[in-house]
Amino acid sequence: MQDNANEALQRQIDRIRSLAAEVLAAPDAPLPQLLPSALFDFNITGKEVPGMADAGAIARSLASLLHQCGERGPNAQERRQVDALLGNLLRELAPDDEPHPAEVPHPLVTPVAPAALPVSNRIALYVDGGPLAVMLRETLAQAGFEPARVDTLASLAAIGEAERPVAVIADLSLCQLYPQCSEVFAALRRRFDPPPHLFCIGEANDIPARLEAVRLGATRYLRQPVDTARLVAILKGVTLQTPSQPFRVMLVEDDPFLGEVYADGLADAGMVTCIVGDPLQVPAKIAEFEPDVLISDLYMPGCNGFELLALLRQDDTLADTPILLLSSEAEIARQLEALHLGADDFLTKPVDMELLIASVTARAKRARMLKRSRGEYRRLKQRLREVERLLPGSVHGTVDADLQHGGAINMEGYVVEEVHHDEFPQAGKA
């Protein structure tokens, strides 16, 4: 009986592998009609087979996605998800004695341009002639850039090496008139290294507009009327005209060897590290080092990682400081305990260095953004109080700072160097 069950499962696996190979070999062809039912059948059968849980979960996710697409079939964005899930499923179903194909994930969002020195200050303006074009040309020229309006999509597609821009600013309403815009922007990213950033400008501030900009490959969406100070600050960050500060990471690790391993990996990624062997010294060291992110081991003498986490989360000044816990503890209960105490992540040892660097980078960016926003908000409230005192017959506290939050904010030091690295400067060090 067991042999029959194994044979039935193997037939399902062979069927899925055949269908998946057909889909991946013809990315523009309609999906096989038998694929959803084959995936659902395999998910049901695989639940009862040891070692098939992960493959079954992937199959169910993919079958559910195809069911939601219905008879219309997946669109271009959904097709990327289908291809990614199929690739994962094929890797799970590959026989142990068969070399597994190298994992090359399909990007679900247009990859952000890598950090690199810019080749010029040229900005391509794909906007209609009129007030917006005039405003952008004048603003960018005064900031030291070289704005150049591109009249047609064909002209944008034909940009050569001599005219290569560091960024393209595009009017979303203009892009919506030409469906081929997405491929033109993708071609520019493939042609140039480093690829140009794409900023979209639109009148709407709703989710559909922003989602469309993301699918075009935009790394920023700016609503009209454009905040020119913010635009210039972002562009100066992209072109590295504004110096960025490396992320600061504190490592709490009682094992000197592991501390050095993590520190070396983070330093190679351009971060500044500080190793603290005694967790009881951490509060004082934080005030001295001012870390963007804190990484702590879980099991340490004198004070374990959970105790240290609970202690630090009592300090309101550290509310924006991400804390990551590292441990060989794989129990989900421990991970949940860490999250309930205020940890931002729980990574299991041995930690892949690329994953550690990516986790630290993502949380350091967010921490700097929060600190920057809070700092600007405090400065704005202080300025409003000063204005109130100058108003004749004014009563302190009458100006609602929340309603005025959209006013002029000092943008100096608004470092964004590059979208996925160092978006905001550390508070107090801009």
Q: Is the pLDDT score of 27 beyond 70?
A: yes
What is the torsional sign of CA 341, 328, 367, 213?
negative
Question: 122-238 and 247-390+408-430: same fold?
Answer: yes
Q: Is the pLDDT score of 70 beyond 60?
A: yes
At residue 145 the predicted structure's pLDDT band, cuts being 50, 70 and 90, is very high
For the chain, domain boundaries: 2-93, 122-238, 247-390+408-430
Query: pLDDT at position 404, please?
Result: 42
The CATH class of 122-238 is alpha beta
The three-state secondary structure class of 350 is coil
Q: What is the pLDDT of residues 178-217, one digit of tens each?
A: 989 989 998 998 888 888 899 999 998 889 999 999 989 8
The three-state secondary structure class of 32 is coil
Quickly tell me which residue has 């550390």 as its tokens.
426
Average pLDDT over residues 30-42: 88
Query: pLDDT at position 401, please?
Result: 43
Average pLDDT over residues 259-271: 93
Measured CA to CA, the distance from residue 220 to residue 108 in angstroms comes to 17
Average pLDDT in the chain: 81
At residue 43 the predicted structure's pLDDT band, cuts being 50, 70 and 90, is confident
> Which residues are registered as beta bridge partners of 252?
276, 296
CB 275 within 8 A of CB 251: yes
Q: Which residues contact 404 (CB under 8 A, 6 or more apart)?
A: 380, 384
CATH hierarchy code of domain 247-390+408-430: 3.40.50.2300
Query: pLDDT at position 2, please?
Result: 58
pTM listed for this prediction: 0.67
CB 324 within 8 A of CB 363: yes
Cis peptide before 194 (omega within 30 of 0): yes
Q: Which of 216, 227, 119 is nearest to 175 (CA)?
A: 216
The lowest-confidence range among 51-60, 266-275, 392-401, 402-411 is 402-411
Q: What is the pLDDT of residues 360-414, one digit of tens each?
A: 999 998 888 887 777 777 777 888 888 888 877 655 554 444 444 444 433 333 3
Q: What is the pLDDT of residues 102-125, one digit of tens each?
A: 555 556 666 555 445 556 789 999
Query: pLDDT at position 126, please?
Result: 95
Query: pLDDT at position 260, please?
Result: 93
The lowest-confidence range among 129-138, 259-268, 324-333 is 324-333
CB 123 within 8 A of CB 146: yes
> Which residues are registered as beta bridge partners of 409?
none
Quickly tell me which residue has 């013809």 as its tokens.
26
Token pair in block for residue 47: 């639940």
E-assigned strand segments in 16-166: 122-126, 146-149
CB 196 within 8 A of CB 419: no
Query: pLDDT at position 229, please?
Result: 86
Measured CA to CA, the distance from residue 319 to residue 218 in angstroms comes to 31
Half-sphere exposure of 11 toward its Cβ, with a 13 Å CA cutoff? 7
Q: Return the exposure string of 8-40: e unless at least 16 CB atoms fall within 10 Å of the residue's CB, then b.
A: ebeebbebbeebbeebeeeeeeebeeebbebbb
Q: Which residues contact 183 (CB under 8 A, 6 or more apart)?
A: none
Cβ burial, residue 262 (10 Å; 0-12/13-18/19+): buried
Query: pLDDT at position 192, please?
Result: 87
CB 374 within 8 A of CB 427: yes
Largest CA distance in the chain: 92
E-assigned strand segments in 11-162: 122-126, 146-149
Q: Is the pLDDT score of 37 beyond 60?
A: yes
Measured CA to CA, the distance from residue 172 to residue 209 in angstroms comes to 8
Query: pLDDT at position 240, please?
Result: 65
Q: Is the pLDDT score of 248 beyond 50?
A: yes
Q: How remote is the C-alpha of 154 from its chain's centroid?
A: 31
Average pLDDT over residues 122-136: 91
Measured CA to CA, the distance from residue 125 to residue 313 in angstroms comes to 47
Query: pLDDT at position 171, please?
Result: 94
CB 387 within 8 A of CB 329: no
Token pair in block for residue 271: 């971060």
